[in-house]
Amino acid sequence: MDIRNIAIIAHVDHGKTTLVDELLKQSGSFRANQQVAERAMDSNDIERERGITILAKCTSVEWNDTLINIVDTPGHADFGGEVERILSMVDGVVLLVDAAEGPMPQTKFVTAKALALGLRPIVVLNKADKPDAEPDRALNEVFDLFANLDANDEQLDFPTLYASGRNGWACESLDDVRENLEPLFKVVVDHVPAPAQLANAGEPFRMLATTLEADPFLGRILTGRVEAGTIKAGTPLKGMSRDGKEIERFRVTKILAFRGLSRQPVDEAVAGDIVAIAGMTKTTVADTLCDPLVIEAIEAQPIDPPTISVTFGINDSPYAGRDGDKVQSRVIRARLLKEAETNVAIKVEDTPDGEAFVVSGRGELQLGVLIENMRREGFELSISRPRVVYRDIDGQRHEPIEEAIIDVDDEYSGTVIEKLTERKGELVEMRPSGVGKTRIVTHVPSRGLIGYHGEFLTATRGTGTLNRIFHSWAPFRGNIQGRRVGVLISMETGTAVPYAIFNLEDRGKFFIGAGEAVYQGMILGEHNRDNDLEINPLKGKKLSNVRASGKDEAVVLTTPVRMSLEQAIAYIADDELVEVTPNHIRLRKRYLDPNERKRQSRQSASA
């Protein structure tokens, strides 16, 4: 049987996962009466809730005696580590571009990676039936993007299709009949070359591990493309690191091939096919699985470095251990090291005291997803404010710069530019992008974008879109003013009283409601001035022997502001933490005791 290996790449929300759903349906991978969830490839709970793809996943379809292995990749730049590894095991890419939005930051990121590997893309202008679609403009922008990324002549001569993944059709011209996705299947088979590895079938077995997962029954499972030879269950293999050192020797216990949405055991895998292998205990991502006679490791794709870090510590608040059952630092450390093993874009380091761990990643979303997963697993954590990772280049401190592409209504463009300039952003381009819309392209330090998204949505009344991606390293651009207001801090431990909150509402907005448990040093709200203020949320109304009419008993409280996990982490200052438990997200001061806070403040001022 012929084999084709392709990856579907695109910016977030341009329709990758929905298109894969339709490819599976139209290839006959599902029975006619089978119930299949929408976005079937997004199997993770957080993926379903947020409507995003976080982990790259493999599937396959059969079309006219050709096996097409398809990899659905994430669209967010924070999960770019997944995209980079996956591209090294495919022979072609389907680049999906929204016909209305055109190429976006992540489109540029994944396309640059694909072109650098010599892959020839197939361009699919998706959502071509939308009322605001401008496929001709989008196609011109794609061509310009390829030219800017130094694509060669073969790559610039790309086939183009117009499609609607949701409605299940693709065609070479918008005037053609819109029936099904057969034109896409045909272009993939005709345009994507068969794996060159097929010619290596007689050589000793070699495979580069690109993704890792743990199975409760099979243990460690590594997925990759067979580069040479054939493999059968029971075959002895060895694992080699990138520098050619032997890691371990093991016997293959299971070979799994991707067929539709399931993985099926197979007796044999041949060069060119994408399979998962079980049996190893130490070999990991970017290592080579090979015959014991092989002495050279397969070259692995370099991974872009992390740009943001946060500190994970134990929860030492008075309410520690009430919600979760995983509270010890050694358990947290083991979980973080396990994550770093499977996710090459994450780096974990111990702090000098050994009680906390610095976790570096690609962005706030990636780290937020890790914290959310740990929270659901029963962990209790205290999380610091995100910090950017600096680099020393030629004796000068450099910081990561991100390219932000912003689409806003014309009336809000001035406010957005003003705020980004305050955050040391440099305006690169500003042009119309549709009726009453402006597209702004700026280069902003990563630290300037921490916590900006919520402020951006408020400034644009929720109508703007902001997309960002790592651009380059640049010399440090100077200090950026942080949060301009102080916070309201509890001076007591107990249960918040409605009467107390009602009388304190003129001091600022609250993050908690009446009847909620609070403790000394916990942040209860935002002060409307620039200093922190300690308040007593437990102070009830003094009782007297004079009978009240009852009119002043029922106080009406303003609805508290509730923050998501990412918002809370971006909101806090350097001397504050976010307490994360399975049931609660609380903001607190790093030092709960007010005297200790004053002592630390004096020390930092004199330092």
pLDDT of 362 strictly over 90:
no
CB 325 within 8 A of CB 378: yes
Task: Check residues 587 and 73 and name the one with the higher pLDDT.
Answer: 587
- Calpha distance 103→433 (Å, rounded): 12
User: What CATH topology corresponds to 391-475?
Assistant: Alpha-Beta Plaits (3.30.70)
For residues 319-333, average pLDDT = 90
Give the per-residue pLDDT at 533. Answer: 92
Domain 198-290: CATH architecture, name and number where available = Beta Barrel (2.40)
CA distances from 133 to 120, 139, 437 (A): 25, 11, 15
pLDDT of residue 586: 93
- Residue located via tokens 């995100």: 386
Residues in Cβ contact with 122 at an 8 Å cutoff, skipping those fewer than 6 apart: 92, 93, 94, 95, 158, 159, 161, 187, 188, 191, 192
By the 8 A CB rule, do 188 and 216 touch? no
CA dist 488 and 480 (Å) reads 23
C-alpha span between 596 and 602 (Å, rounded): 10
Question: What's the pLDDT at 585?
Answer: 92
Domain ranges of the chain: 2-194, 198-290, 391-475, 487-606
Structure-model confidence comparison of residues 214 and 55, the more confident one: 214
pLDDT greater at residue 258 or residue 418: 418
pLDDT grade, residue 462 (50/70/90)?
A: confident
| Mean pLDDT along residues 35-44 | 40
| Type of residue found at 379 | F
Task: Say what angle helices 135-148 and 105-116 make with each other, to 10 degrees.
Answer: 50
User: Is the model's pLDDT at 50 over the cut of 50?
Assistant: no
Q: In the numeric block, which tokens belong to residue 386? A: 């995100």
pLDDT at 42 over 60: no
Percentage of residues in the chain with pLDDT exceeding 70?
Answer: 88
Instruction: Give pLDDT tens digits for 95-150.
Output: 989 888 888 767 777 788 788 888 999 999 998 888 888 899 999 999 998 988 88
Cβ 346 vs Cβ 339: under 8 Å: yes
- E strands present in 413-530: 426-432, 437-445, 465-475, 487-490, 494-495, 508-510, 517-518, 522-527
Instruction: Establish whether domains 2-194 and 198-290 are of one fold.
Output: no
CATH class of the region 487-606: mainly beta
Per-residue pLDDT tens over the stretch 515-545: 899 999 999 999 999 899 999 998 877 766 6
Indicate the pTM of the whole model: 0.73
Cα–Cα distance measured from residue 566 to residue 555, given in angstroms and rounded to the nearest whole number = 32
Q: What is the CATH number of domain 2-194?
A: 3.40.50.300
574 burial class (0-12, 13-18, 19+ CB within 10 angstroms)? exposed
Going 143 to 146 to 152 to 157, the CA torsion angle's sign is negative
Helix axes 364-376, 329-342, angle to 10 degrees: 130
Query: What average pLDDT does the chain have?
Result: 83
* Tokens at 528, concatenated: 């409307």
Give the DSSP H or E segment for 388: strand 387-388
Mean pLDDT computed over 29-36: 44
